């Protein structure tokens, strides 16, 4: 029987071209700058690992964080420093939501290959977005003057409280971790929400809740912070960690071969 849709299996190049055309149609129909940016990434950066970065679990986790931030901190987020920003998807989700007033998002990642992808995805907000290559431990947080610091890779930080000590007191902090212990690159997972709060050692919690999907996401302040702790296996680290040395996610942990 002849396959009238695809006479022969489509090549990877054909698939990407089709996905690019599809996303351009979605962007035109929805009018979403985020969808337009995603289409542009497909066209300009065929090497980008969007299948992992934009899968439903990754997006769902970031949407939950967005909603929790709005409920806890309100409309005005000011200047945001985003660590381990990868392709800038969380930044784009925040920018794309008209519920927020955001002055600027600086997305830091230790992998120099991801910055151009993040800039393409966030091209609609180019005047308020920057992607920079840096180690989170080497940043001068006081000089950055952030109103909110976001770190979504706490499972990769050997000593979370020691990293938090680098931040100016009083800055808002959003944190995410998980209990996905079987992932080799996760060196500091937490078994439950209380363990995560104890690990962070923040002076008070402003948001502390387990949503209906059983993933746990809390916020604190002292430093105000949001913790997003995923159910075991529900939110594995999607990034590739080839070779030795510091992990490209920008979280500064050591990756074993």
By CB neighbour count within 10 A (0-12 exposed, 13-18 middle, 19+ buried), where does 94 fall?
buried
pLDDT of residue 246: 33
State the virtual CA torsion across 26, 32, 37, 42 in degrees, nearest 10.
-10
pLDDT of residue 30: 86
Closest CA to 43 of 134, 94, 116, 136: 116
Question: d(Cα 88, Cα 210) in Å, to the nearest integer?
Answer: 26
Question: d(Cα 253, Cα 222) in Å, to the nearest integer?
Answer: 25
**Domain residues of the chain, as ranges?**
12-48, 51-255
The pairing of beta strand 217-221 with beta strand 204-209: antiparallel
Place of tokens 């931030």: 69
Q: Report the topology of domain 51-255.
A: Rossmann fold (3.40.50)
pLDDT of residue 71: 87
SS3 content of the chain, % helix, strand, coil (to 5): 35, 20, 40
pLDDT of residue 231: 33
Low-confidence ranges of the chain (pLDDT < 50): 1, 210-211, 213-236, 240-257
pLDDT of residue 7: 60
220 φ/ψ angles, rounded to the nearest 5 degrees: -130, 180
DSSP state of 9: P
Place of tokens 């992932």: 183
Q: How does pLDDT run across 62-107, given as a tens digit for each residue?
A: 888 898 889 888 999 999 999 999 999 999 999 999 999 999 999 9
């Amino acid at each position: 029987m002849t396959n009238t849709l695809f006479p022969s299996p489509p090549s990877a190049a054909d698939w990407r071209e089709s996905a690019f055309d599809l996303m351009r149609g979605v962007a035109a129909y929805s009018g979403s700058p985020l969808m337009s940016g995603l289409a542009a990434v497909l066209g300009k950066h065929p090497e980008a690992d969007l299948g992992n970065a934009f899968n439903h679990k990754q997006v769902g986790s970031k949407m939950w964080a967005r909603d929790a931030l709005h409920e806890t901190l309100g409309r005005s987020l000011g200047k945001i420093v985003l660590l381990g920003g990868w392709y800038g998807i969380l930044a784009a989700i925040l920018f794309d939501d008209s519920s927020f007033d955001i002055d600027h998002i600086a997305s830091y990642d230790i992998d120099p290959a991801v910055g151009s992808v993040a800039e393409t995805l966030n091209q609609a907000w180019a005047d308020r977005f920057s992607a920079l290559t840096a180690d989170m431990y080497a940043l001068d947080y006081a000089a950055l003057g952030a109103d909110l610091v976001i770190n979504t890779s706490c499972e990769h930080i050997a000593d979370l409280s020691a990293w938090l000590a680098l931040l100016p007191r009083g800055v808002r902090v959003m944190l995410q971790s998980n209990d996905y212990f079987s992932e080799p690159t996760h060196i500091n997972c937490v078994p439950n929400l209380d363990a995560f709060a104890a690990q962070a050692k923040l002076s008070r919690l402003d948001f502390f809740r387990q949503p209906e999907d059983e993933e746990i996401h809390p916020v604190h302040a002292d430093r105000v912070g949001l913790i997003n702790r995923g159910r075991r296996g529900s939110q594995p680290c999607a990034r590739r960690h080839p070779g030795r040395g510091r992990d490209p996610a920008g979280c500064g942990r050591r990756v074993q071969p």
